[in-house]
Amino acid sequence: MPEGDTVFRSARALNEALAGQVLTVCDLRVPAFATVDLSGERVESVISVGKHLLHRIGEFTIHSHLKMEGSWHIYTPGTKWRRPAWQARAILSVADRVTVGFSLGELEVVPREREHQLVEYLGPDILGADWDPDEALRRLTADAFRPIGLALLDQRVIAGLGNVYRNEILFLQGLLPTRPVGEVPDPAGLIAQSHRVILANRDRVERTTTGDLRRGRMTWVYRRENLPCLRCGTPIRRGTLGENALTERDIYFCPHCQA
């Protein structure tokens, strides 16, 4: 699933391509909104909120979420698409650009005055201009018995952190994902490091949490099961963690460096 930095970059690129221009094509390929046509309306902006994308067009907002497989592409007219047409869920074009949302996990259109209802449940946006670490800390520490690995991934706590960052930040903090929040010695420091790490990657195409862009060395633990820890050499382990079977996600950790 794309992380908040990926969505942030997508929103920035889409905004540069569309903002201020009039839509010439609006083709939404989901049954509930297939008859919606905003062509002729002017695009005000495209923004990200956590992992959500909001196209503000005329008096409406097109909301999309990439989920596991989604992506937005930008093409010049006549350019061959890099993914098959049957995966396209949204086509929004202006005079000199064609933007295509492929395999979008969510796609809906709401009046602008209802836009806030789409994202009001989210915690502070870690890449937002209004990032509020104090509110993030309040939400993170609200349940002392919850595993830190679940709390850190919860978009109601911090919007924008995904599974890559969850695993990497907990390694950097020396914390097992299963440790209860109440036993985390410096939750404010964990939040501050989360912000620093994702901010450092916000403008990168290739994400790294180690500072090393060589293959196999870009992350400390994520997807490195059975490989030696880059710090101590202990084999990295893999497990799962979730509130239930539907929410279980992979966790990666070093049993020596994390406790």
Same structural domain, 111 and 143: no
Same structural domain, 48 and 110: yes
The whole-number pLDDT of residue 1 equals 66
The whole-number pLDDT of residue 84 equals 98
The whole-number pLDDT of residue 245 equals 80
Same structural domain, 139 and 249: yes
Would 145 be classed as within a structural domain? Answer: yes
Residue 221: CATH number of its domain = 1.10.8.50
The whole-number pLDDT of residue 115 equals 96
Q: Is 104 exposed, middle or buried (0-12, 13-18, 19+ CB in 10 A)?
A: buried
Q: How many domains does the chain have?
A: 2
Would 259 be classed as within a structural domain? Answer: no
Active site residues: 2-3, 51, 249
The whole-number pLDDT of residue 76 equals 97
The whole-number pLDDT of residue 67 equals 94
Same structural domain, 137 and 248: yes
Same structural domain, 152 and 114: no
Would 86 be classed as within a structural domain? Answer: yes
Predicted model pTM? 0.94
Residues of the chain where predicted confidence (pLDDT) is lower than 70: 1
The whole-number pLDDT of residue 149 equals 97
| Range(s) of the domain holding residue 102 | 4-119
Choose one of 64, 84, 119: the last residue of a domain.
119
Would 23 be classed as within a structural domain? Answer: yes
Neighbours of 195 (CB within 10 A): 20
Residue 250 DSSP label? E
CB 114 within 8 A of CB 106: no
The whole-number pLDDT of residue 244 equals 87
